[in-house]
Amino acid sequence: KAGVTQTPRYLIKTRGQQVTLSCSPISGHRSVSWYQQTPGQGLQFLFEYFSETQRNKGNFPGRFSGRQFSNSRSEMNVSTLELGDSALYLCASRDRDLNEQFFGPGTRLTVL
């Protein structure tokens, strides 16, 4: 099976813009989670979607949002970008039987 794919891999935006990141889970996985990784804060959970419904949400402002489509693909959106949003954004899809999350390579977002 193909792994988790994320697009784009790299992105440069300026403050105030918005951005949409995409994640395609492993075939058959219905749960997708998003994490933000920064040098200062480490890996932090953003949200998790299952069957197009948000099931869990981390402690991030409302500028961070996401959605999941019927084919389990997920997008996350960040509006009104701030310098502090520069990070590696990781998507993970979960194998329910194995209780494991499989991570994609991430999208590195730089906000100038």
Partner 1 sequence: AQSVTQLGSHVSVSEGALVLLRCNYSSSVPPYLFWYVQYPNQGLQLLLKYTTGATLVKGINGFEAEFKKSETSFHLTKPSAHMSDAAEYFCAVSKIQGAQKLVFGQGTRLTINP
Amino acid symbol at 28: G
Helix locations, the chain, DSSP H: none
CB of 17 to partner 1, least distance (A): 24
CB of 14 to partner 1, least distance (A): 23
Helices and strands (H and E) in the chain: how many: 0, 11
Neighbours of 57 (CB within 10 A): 13
CB of 103 to partner 1, least distance (A): 4
Q: Which is nearer to partner 1, 79 or 103 (CB)?
A: 103
Q: Which is nearer to partner 1, 36 or 81 (CB)?
A: 36
List interacting residues with partner 1 (CB under 8 A).
4, 31, 33, 35, 42-45, 48, 50, 55-56, 58, 90, 92, 94, 96, 99-106
Q: Which is nearer to partner 1, 11 or 102 (CB)?
A: 102
Q: Which is nearer to partner 1, 41 or 80 (CB)?
A: 41
Q: Report the distance separating Cα 1 and Cα 96, nearest Å.
A: 16
